[in-house]
Structure 1
Amino acid sequence: MSSRERILGRVRRALADVPRDDGTPYERAVPRDYLREHGERTVEETVDLLAENLADYRAVVHRCTTEGLASVIAGLLAARDARTVVVPPGLDPGWLAEAGVERVPDRAESTPHELDRVDSVVTACAVAVAETGTIVLDGSPDQGRRRVTLVPDHHICVVRVPAQVVASVPQALERLDPARPLTWISGPSATSDIELDRVEGVHGPRTLEVVLVSGHESGAATA
């Protein structure tokens, strides 16, 4: 008897008392009667909760209007003394209109070493989840490839408020295409060693700055 046959035999014995599939469609096989959100909030309260949970995860949160966005981004880059910034192909060029930095295009041929030499990256997002303080990127043109948000040490992410803010993960999933390369971000990259010493920048940017830009009403989630 081969190793493969032994392993499959153990699997069959372990499944011997498991009821056979009755043909119930997957979407009805498991009850999904969990809460869609926890508590009732206004749209403003939902956005405030997002900001609170982002900060709790050690993201740096900024608020501004559409008119002030370029100035805010320029200030954040200047504060980091950033000289180069990765720019996704679909990013609104007006966002960097006041930033005196070299713009590095998001190219398929860029290597991790090249991206590691870039100071910052600026992106939009697909959706933001208030209850978990999570930003989701889906690889759209204004967000770029996943690696441009994982290699540079400083990520500025713009969230359109309230259009891109939802209360809960179930509401976020309804907006997302599961076939796209989804990146879920809850604060800057971090881990802890056996002594519980927190280390940031392990598998992503050491600093995450989220800019909540008000004035985007269409598509806002019901709070």
Structure 2
Amino acid sequence: MSGRETVLSALRTALQDVPGSESPDDVPVPHGRRADHAGPDIVGLFTERAAEYRATVVRVPAAGAAAAVGRALARTGARSVVLPPGLPEDLVSQGPWSRLEDVPPLTVDQLDAADAVITTIAAAIAVTGTVTLDHGPGQGRRALTLLPDQHICVVRASQIAPDVPEALSRLDPYRPLTLVSGPSATSDIELDRVEGVHGPRVLDIVVIEDA
């Protein structure tokens, strides 16, 4: 018996007493985990963990978000920034950078030549310092966050979940999900860390405090 046949046989045996009318949503899953192990300061934990992954993280009130985005662009000397459809216009301040709207879609060469991209997110995870995009309004298609050298994520404090299960419960599993923990990095070659191989070399996170 092949490995495939062994696995399928085990699945059939496990499912033989399950009624045909039953669906996975009908049966609660016992997770056997603590409801929350992030502690009381979820936003503080998220900023700490994200910084450990070499992201640059700032916390600002809503009125200071555009200025924080502008400082992130100025720090890297960005001269062109990609803006996905649906990104709030008040997040992008005026500066020495040109704005590249992704309507109609920018070409691969245009994205590769762009210095930065600004997006919102779908959810964030405190215990892992991760931001999650589902590529809805304000986030754009996946290529936008892979080719420019700098990715600036704007995160509302209310979007930060304490842990992975809570974050996943807020997301639509049928949407394309991208989870980002720090700038792109690899140590595949002689264990030397190299950033920017598989995506942005620089990750900035602007956390907007709840009112």
TM-score by length of 1: 0.83
RMSD between aligned residues? 2.0
Contact 2:69/2:93 (8 A) holds in 1:
no
Partner of 2:66: 70
Deviates more, 1:73-82 or 1:49-58: 73-82
Q: Which amino acid aligns with 2:127?
A: E
Partner of 2:207: 212
The answer to whether structure 1 residue 182 and structure 2 residue 181 are counterparts is: no
Contact 1:128/1:172 (8 A) holds in 2:
yes
TM-score by length of 2: 0.88
What stretches of structure 1 of length at least 5 have no aligned partner?
1-8, 217-223
Partner of 1:82: 78
The SS at the match of 1:139 is coil
Measure, in 1, the Cα distance between the counterparts of 2:109 and 2:159. Answer: 32
Contact 1:91/1:141 (8 A) holds in 2:
yes
Shift of 1:126: 0.9
- Matched positions, count: 204
The answer to whether structure 1 residue 164 and structure 2 residue 159 are counterparts is: yes
The equivalent position to 1:155 in structure 2, one of 148, 151, 154, is 151
The SS at the match of 2:85 is coil
Partner of 1:12: 5
Percent identical pairs in the alignment equals: 46
Measure, in 2, the Cα distance between the counterparts of 1:47 and 1:166. Answer: 9
Q: How far does the alpha carbon of each residue in 1:28-67 deviate from its partner, in whole angstroms, 9 at most, with x for none?
A: 386422233225x32xx11110011001111111121111
What stretches of structure 2 of length at least 5 have no aligned partner?
none
Q: How far does the alpha carbon of each residue in 1:166-188 deviate from its partner, in whole angstroms, 9 at most, with x for none?
A: 10111111111111111100111
Contact 1:71/1:98 (8 A) holds in 2:
no
Q: How far does the alpha carbon of each residue in 1:103-144 deviate from its partner, in whole angstroms, 9 at most, with x for none?
A: 101246422221000010011111111011110011111111
Q: Which amino acid aligns with 2:114?
A: V
Runs of 4+ in 1 over 6 A off after TM superposition: none
Q: How far does the alpha carbon of each residue in 1:77-125 deviate from its partner, in whole angstroms, 9 at most, with x for none?
A: 1121111100011111111133332110124642222100001001111
